[in-house]
Amino acid sequence: MTQAATRDTAAAPNKAPFDVEKVRLDFPILQQQVHGQPLVYLDNAATTQKPRAVIQALVDYYEGYNSNVHRAAHALSDRATQAFEGARDKVGRFLQVADRREIIWTSGVTEGINLVAQSWGRQNLRAGDRVLVSAMEHHSNIVPWQMVAEPLGATVEPIPVDETGTLDLEAFHAMLDDRVRMVSVGHVSNALGSVNPVAEIIEAAHRVGALTLIDGAQAVGHFPVDVQTLGCDFYAVSAHKLFGPTGIGALYGRLSLLESMTPWQGGGEMIETVSFAGTTYGGVPHKFEAGTPNIADAIAFGAAIDYLNALDRAGAQRHEDELLAYAEQRAAGTEGLRLVGTAIDKTGVMSFLVEGTHPADLGFLLDQQGVAVRTGHHCAQPIMDQFGIPGTVRASLAFYNTRDDIDRLFAALDKARQLF
């Protein structure tokens, strides 16, 4: 599987350089010092920072038209409803869906996967059925399937991953049979940065009659995604990994599937009629959106998409890829540093260990020098167990990072190592 089949890496070499310094001015939080040092923010796989446009969208809603949506007959509610549903349209266009009803608001990828597991899984999984996930999945793409599968007598099985952090496609194809009902994998590994060949995975799964769910949390902030071209059945995203607010995300599902699924939560908004004789549910998407939604953050999610659409996304992707290559080149020249996750196709993440240090101690010492990284197992304990390590130091990139950030990281590492 080539890179081109996994993501769009075609960037013309004669394009103007990506103006990272101009972009950085859009992010107020980057213009500060931490422990007396200019902030170097390299924890983007955990959450990305927010541009002023996103912050302003929240302020505008709460100051100008805060109201509940859909049912009230007054001006504020009408404005809120238009902005809220307009944001749904923006997410749909961003993911290239066929029908706006295929976008379900969630609190993030975790809720999106739980929704599919609880609604589709409880309806369709039977004893002896199999759900395949990769060995490097985030816990949110393992635990929900285990919670549903175990009482039904189904199994959740890991697709092997090799020592570089690359999915073993040969082993995956060998695992496929007519008992596989769902294949649920991350588009990009949050712990290793590996970009999985999801188009091939989806095609192979469909050949045996299985459905597919793709965890897009770590993908959509780095490169464009077209769910119709991929052909997946479900695709989940989180706004806070996409330069938007926390607590909001979206689940794409094929309309025919969503229409066949029963709701997993009940309450207001998701009904058609309610009586003690029985209740009928509303249509898609509303039957999966019980209660008052996260209106402000959905609107701000739309603002984040507007911001991204106004960027040179190909240039941003090229800039990030060049930064990762530069960081890994610096790592190769650093004595005692071992990269964890060396797949050929990677994006945005450099996980590593330094001989003689514990990741948590190293992360603390880097923070004292203004460098923010993440340490630990990154909610991916199975792959850490496979590698025989407690966790890693993870430096993760966004388009607003610079070569100076990478240099500051390695200067801080050199200084920290002197203390061990």
- Residue from 379, 381, 403, 410 carrying the catalytic annotation: 379
Q: What is the DSSP string of 127-177?
A: TT-EEEEETT--GGGTHHHHHHHHHHT-EEEEEPB-TTS-B-HHHHHHH--
Residue 286 tokens, joined: 């509303």
Cα 14 from Cα 315, distance rounded (Å): 11
Pick from 51, 12, 95: nearest CA to 314: 12
Contact 248, 107 (CB under 8 A): yes
Number of Cβ within a 10 Å radius of residue 29:
11
Number of Cβ within a 10 Å radius of residue 247:
17
Contact 139, 378 (CB under 8 A): no
Cα 134 from Cα 386, distance rounded (Å): 12
The reply to whether 379 belongs to the active site is: yes
Pick from 347, 381, 339, 319: nearest CA to 196: 347
Catalogue the active-site residues.
379
